[in-house]
């Protein structure tokens, strides 16, 4: 059995750890960059959706986003037609650090892909997207309380 998930876990933890250390400089605490990036990319998104994208528990996302708001990186806005949801938008402060986050992420990407040809990179991203598609279905299934049988 090829240990795909082990490799992926190692890579993910290492990169996340590096990012968290590097973003302290911008007063972003652990994990916050993930949320801010998504909100900058999709202004008006709601937190439930952010949690789904990142694959993190709803309540974790709620608290991280609350903190981003308290620290002035984003704002929550009521919706005209839907009293339940709160749309999320980056503030000027949030928008300002977005490029720094991108730059860091791009650097990590570049380092990670060192020694791979263009073709191999294309290939890798394609394979990973397919794997992610497979995995996210299972995640939603299990998160909703269903039991996988195997």
Partner DNA sequence: TTAATTTTGTTGTATTTGCAACAAAAAACA
Partner DNA sequence: TGTTTTTTGTTGCAAATACAACAAAATTAA
| Site of interaction with DNA (CB under 7 A) | 13, 17, 20-21, 29-32, 46-49, 56-60, 62-67, 76, 81-86, 143
| Termini Cα distance of the chain | 16
Q: Which does 123 bind (CB under 5 to 8 A by kind): DNA, a copy of itself, none?
A: a copy of itself
Q: Which does 63 bind (CB under 5 to 8 A by kind): DNA, a copy of itself, none?
A: DNA
Measure the CA–CA gap between 7 and 138, rounded to whole angstroms.
19
Q: Is 150 exposed, middle or buried (0-12, 13-18, 19+ CB in 10 A)?
A: exposed
Q: Which does 101 bind (CB under 5 to 8 A by kind): DNA, a copy of itself, none?
A: none
The residue among 2 and 81 lying less far from DNA, judged by its C-beta, is 81
Taking the complex as a whole, how short is the minimal distance between the CB of residue 94 and a copy of itself, in angstroms? 19
């Amino acid at each position: 059995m090829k240990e795909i998930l082990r490799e992926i876990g190692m890579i993910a933890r290492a990169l996340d750890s590096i990012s968290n250390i590097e973003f302290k400089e911008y007063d972003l605490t652990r994990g916050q960059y993930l949320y801010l990036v998504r909100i900058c990319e999709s202004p008006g998104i709601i937190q439930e959706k952010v949690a789904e994208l990142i694959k993190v528990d709803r309540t974790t996302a709620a608290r991280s986003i609350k903190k981003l708001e308290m620290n002035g990186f984003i704002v929550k806005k009521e919706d005209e037609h839907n009293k339940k949801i709160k749309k999320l938008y980056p503030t000027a402060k949030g928008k300002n650090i977005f490029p720094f986050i991108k730059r860091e992420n791009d650097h990590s990407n570049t380092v990670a892909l060192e020694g791979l040809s263009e073709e191999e990179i294309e290939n890798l991203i394609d394979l990973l997207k397919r794997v992610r598609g497979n995995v996210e279905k299972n995640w939603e299934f299990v998160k909703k309380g269903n039991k996988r049988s195997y």
